[in-house]
Homo-oligomer: A and B are copies of this chain.
């Protein structure tokens, strides 16, 4: 998606070879009009798919998930993060290592909000090594629901998570795939 790529080139900040800060438009500060354009593009890319629920993870995925949900006319469920498996709710859980924060979390979704027959589009702002998406996919399977696809704003292609999902036959659509980056520049996949 050219609009997103241009915005990354304009406002993204590359730190080292693997950190891209997009705080100024995608998380922390959210450009809602861009977020809606991304949601519309996801609807186009998944136009032949039946989706009745969008699943993301707190906190940075929520804005994009809500924008996307408008075009699919469906609800958003967001997985909560906690440091431990301790929880009072009856919930599906799956472990996840955060690349950004360098810590381990348990993702948790109440069993009330995901179940058999749900056709789930997973939405997130970033896809790197795929740990968050793998944990969400695991949760969807535990619920007996179906992952229709994975919709990502920015995929760090060089970390391999997206291609590993594709090789499992999962439909992954990322609006910008970065194959290489450093402080001198960013190379997008064609």
- Assess whether A63 is in contact with B35, with CB atoms less than 8 Å apart: no
Q: Assembly of this chain: how many copies?
A: 2
Other-chain contact of A63, B33, B66, B73 (Cβ < 8 Å): B66
From DSSP, what is the main secondary structure of chain A's interface residues? mixed
- Assess whether A36 is in contact with B76, with CB atoms less than 8 Å apart: no
Give the complex CA separation of A10 and B142 in angstroms. Answer: 28
Counting chain A residues whose Cβ lies within 8 A of the other chain, the interface size class is: 20 to 34
Task: Check A78/B28 contact, CB under 8 A, given A62-B59, A62-B63.
Answer: yes
Max chain B Cβ within 10 angstroms of own Cβ: one of A24, A62, A77, A109: A62
Cβ contacts A44-80/B at 8 Å (1 or 0 each): 0000000000000011001100110110011111101
Q: Does A23 contact B (CB under 8 A)?
A: yes
